[in-house]
Structure formats: structure tokens, C-alpha cells
Homo-oligomer: A and B are copies of this chain.
Amino acid sequence: MLKNFELSCPIENNNDLITLSHGSGGSQMHDLLSKTIYPFIKNKNSEQSNDAAVVEINNSKLAFTTDSFVISPLFFSGGDIGSLSVYGTVNDLAMVGATPLFLSLALIIEEGFSKEQLFKIMESIKQASKIANVEVITGDTKVVNKGKGDNLYINTSGIGIVNLDYKIHPKNISKDDVIILSGDIGRHAISILAKREGLDFEIDLESDLQPLTKYVQSLINANIKIKCLRDITRGGLAAALNEIALTAIAEIEIDESNILVNNTVFNLCEILGLDIFHLACEGRFLAVVPADYAEESLDILNKVGCEAQVIGNIKSLGISNSVVLKTKIGTRRIIDMPTGELLPRIC
């Protein structure tokens, strides 16, 4: 390749290498997954468009999921890599309607990391497991050379049990179903950004990090017919909605007036030129339910502590996939799958 350097296009060359945007949750990641990962793990039980796989073992429906956490910094307002590792995986299980039961915990520690910090993070894992009502039952510890990691990476995998006679999945969506958002968006991303930039003492903002199980279970216990659930993480609301639209082949319309954004988040996005719809959360989710269930769903969610709103609905099904935003001033704009990566290592 070096020989032809002057004739070759550097952008094309970069296509051979993994970039940070491949971990963004946006279009480059979806491209990597669909071309380089999924073709090799395709099987009848593999799950490519939901947060966890659901399999039957001896007539029990089990949910299984995994997540690695590479967040930087390790500690932030409202949590740390420990609580994030517990809630992140618990939430992936919750998103298929499972009750989370057991977690695994695998640490990749960089040589030179302080035991005191590890201690703090383990204490946080203990507390978060208690709050989320899960048990860490198996684990692994690896140490890599200094300069080959970044303090600490954590992987948690989780097993949950599903007691539903149908599958929660984007493919269940029908025309006119409504989309509920469980609370305000972007607080996780902005709190991480504030910590990175040393702004955390100046702004009063906590990550939205929390376990989502009780909200989903409240809906299930009330027999709400949940079509699809999606937690808003990497790639933000834009990625979550586009993933649903893509899997269901749906045209989605959402209304900006009904999307809650904290003032600090809004103002920092304005100043820094960030798109609110691309910001990661770690304690917010979308639920797609039939329009008949909208009001009851909001009542239930808001009674257990959400600030849920109906933010949009399914305009058409089976024709094409798109996400359209009706802005506050009445115009319409396409919300695309995010590209690139403005805030890497947010989870």
C-alpha cells in the first residue's frame, strides 16, 4: 500500500481500520456489525435487533445479554463504572421484559491501577446489585500492561427470566402505535462531558443512570401490551428510534414539544453545538404500545417515578423506514441515524 500512497485516497484507506465512530451506536457501528460481526454469528437464536437474546431452556424463557463498559472517566456525577456496569446490563434484560436474576463480572485492569479505586468501584457494584435485585455469581480478572488499557474496563453479562407469552420486539409494532419516552434525555452524556471538561463543579447535573426494571415490570404487571422497548444509550434518542424504524420498517413521527430536556443539558448543547437527540442516557427508555394503552401506560409509569410522555407514533409500516421530527415551530426534519462520534466512551 505504501508504494501507491500518492495515488490512493486516505479516506478509502481508513475504511480498512476500526475508528472510534465504529463504537458510536450510530451508522458506522451498524455497518461494522452487519458486515463484519453478524455474518459470523448468525444462528436461529442469535439476536441482532434487540437488547438481549431470549432462548428457551427446558420450557423456561431466559434472556441473555452482555455489555462491556469502557467509560472515561470512571467516576462521574450520579454514578461510576461499577453502578453503570450493573444497571447497563440489567436494563438490557429489562428491555426484553425479563426480570434480571444473575450477573457475571469480568474486570480488565491496567497495571498500576489503584486498589483503593477498585475497592470503591466494587462497593458501588455491591450497592447497585442490591438496588437492582441481582446477584453477581461468577467473574474473571485480567491485568494488562501499563499503556494497554485505561485504568479499568468491565464486562457484565446477565441472565433474566421472561414470563410473557409473546416476544417484545420491534417486529411486533403496528401502525398508529404510540411511542412513550420515560423521561428527559441527555443527562448522562452531559454529566460525563462536564466531568471530562472540568465543568462538573460549575453545573448541577447528575447522570440519569438507574435500573429500569421496576418501570417495565409495572407495565407488564398491569397487562399493558408492550410491543417494543428500547433503552436510550449510545447514539441517543436518534439511534434508538432509527433502530426501531429500521427493524420494523416503520415511518415514525415524533413531536419535539413532548420531549423533555433539562435546562442545563439544553444550554450546554446550544453552547457546544451538540445535537440533543444524539446524547446518551443510561436510565431512559422508549416503549411502543397500542394507542388504546397510552394513557394507562403514562399513569403507571409516572406513578412509579418516571416523567413519561407520548412523544410520537408509527405513521406507516412496511413501506420505508424514517424518523421525522415535528419541531416546536411547526416544521419537519428527518432525524437520521447518528454518524461519527462526538462523545466517545460514554458507557
Interface residue ranges, A against B (CB under 8 Å): 15-24, 29, 32-33, 36-37, 39-41, 43-47, 52-53, 55, 57-60, 62, 64-70, 101-102, 104-116, 118-119, 122-123, 125-126, 129, 135-145, 147-150, 153, 155, 157, 159, 161, 344-345
Contacts and interface: CB of A to CB of B under 8 A. Distances in A.
A159 B46 CA distance: 14
Given A36-B122, A102-B45, A153-B153, A140 B67 contact: yes
Contacts of A57: 60, 62, 101, 159, 161
Contact of A139 (B66, B101, B135): B66
A106 B68 contact: yes
A24 B143 CA distance: 8
A150 B140 CA distance: 19
Contact of A111 (B19, B135, B159, B161): B19
A105 B19 contact: no
| Identical chains in the assembly | 2
Nearest to A63: B138
A233 to B, nearest CB: 11
Given A23-B142, A150-B144, A159-B159, A64 B102 contact: yes
Given A148-B150, A159-B62, A36 B115 contact: yes
A96 to B, nearest CB: 10
B45 A141 contact: no
Contacts of A45: 102, 135, 137
A37 B122 contact: yes
Contacts of A144: 23, 70, 150, 153, 345
A271 to B, nearest CB: 25
A64 to B, nearest CB: 5
A113 B32 CA distance: 13
A32 B141 contact: yes
Contacts of A70: 108, 142, 144
16 contacts: A18-B109, A20-B111, A20-B143, A24-B143, A37-B141, A41-B136, A44-B135, A53-B137, A53-B138, A57-B101, A58-B161, A64-B104, A66-B106, A108-B108, A145-B150, A157-B157
